Amino acid sequence: MKLDRFYPIFDSIDWLERMLPLGVKLVQLRIKDMPEPELRHAVTEARVLCQKHDTILILNDYWQVAIDAGCDWIHLGQEDLDDADIPAIRRAGIRLGISTHDRDELERAMRHTPDYVALGPVYPTKLKKMKWHQQGLEKLSEWKGLIGQTPLVAIGGMTVERAQGALDAGADIVSAVTDITWSDDPEARVKAWIGATR
Computed from CA positions of residues 180, 40, 53, 3, in that sequence, does the dihedral angle turn out positive or negative?
A: positive
Does the pLDDT of residue 1 top 80, yes or no? no
Q: How far apart are CA 43 and CA 40, in angstroms?
A: 5
Does the pLDDT of residue 180 top 90, yes or no? yes
The reply to whether 101 falls in a domain is: yes
The per-residue pLDDT of the chain, averaged, comes to 95
Report the domain count for the chain: 1
The reply to whether 72 falls in a domain is: yes
Q: What is the pLDDT of residue 4?
A: 98
Tell me which of 1-5, 157-161, 167-171 is least confident: 1-5
pTM for the structure as a whole: 0.96
- Residue 130 vs residue 17, higher pLDDT: 17
Asked whether 133 and 124 are in contact (CB, 8 A), the reply is yes
> In whole angstroms, how far apart are CA 80 and each of 99, 136, 186?
10, 24, 30
Q: What is the pLDDT of residue 59?
A: 98
Does the pLDDT of residue 128 top 70, yes or no? no
The reply to whether 134 falls in a domain is: yes
Q: What is the pLDDT of residue 30?
A: 97
CATH number of the domain encompassing residue 75: 3.20.20.70
In 101-147 the beta strands, taken as DSSP E runs, fall at 116-119
Question: How far does CA 37 lie from the centroid of its chain?
Answer: 23
SS3 of residue 102 by DSSP: coil
The reply to whether 91 falls in a domain is: yes
Does the pLDDT of residue 179 top 70, yes or no? yes
The reply to whether 1 falls in a domain is: no
Does the pLDDT of residue 8 top 80, yes or no? yes
Quote the percentage of the chain above a pLDDT of 70: 97
Tell me: the pLDDT tens digits for 69-126? 999 999 999 999 999 999 999 999 999 999 999 999 999 999 999 999 999 999 987 7
Q: What is the pLDDT of residue 132?
A: 66
Does the pLDDT of residue 134 top 90, yes or no? no
The reply to whether 11 falls in a domain is: yes
Whole domain around residue 155: which residue ranges? 6-197
Q: What is the pLDDT of residue 158?
A: 96
Averaged pLDDT for residues 170-194: 98
The reply to whether 109 falls in a domain is: yes
The reply to whether 154 falls in a domain is: yes
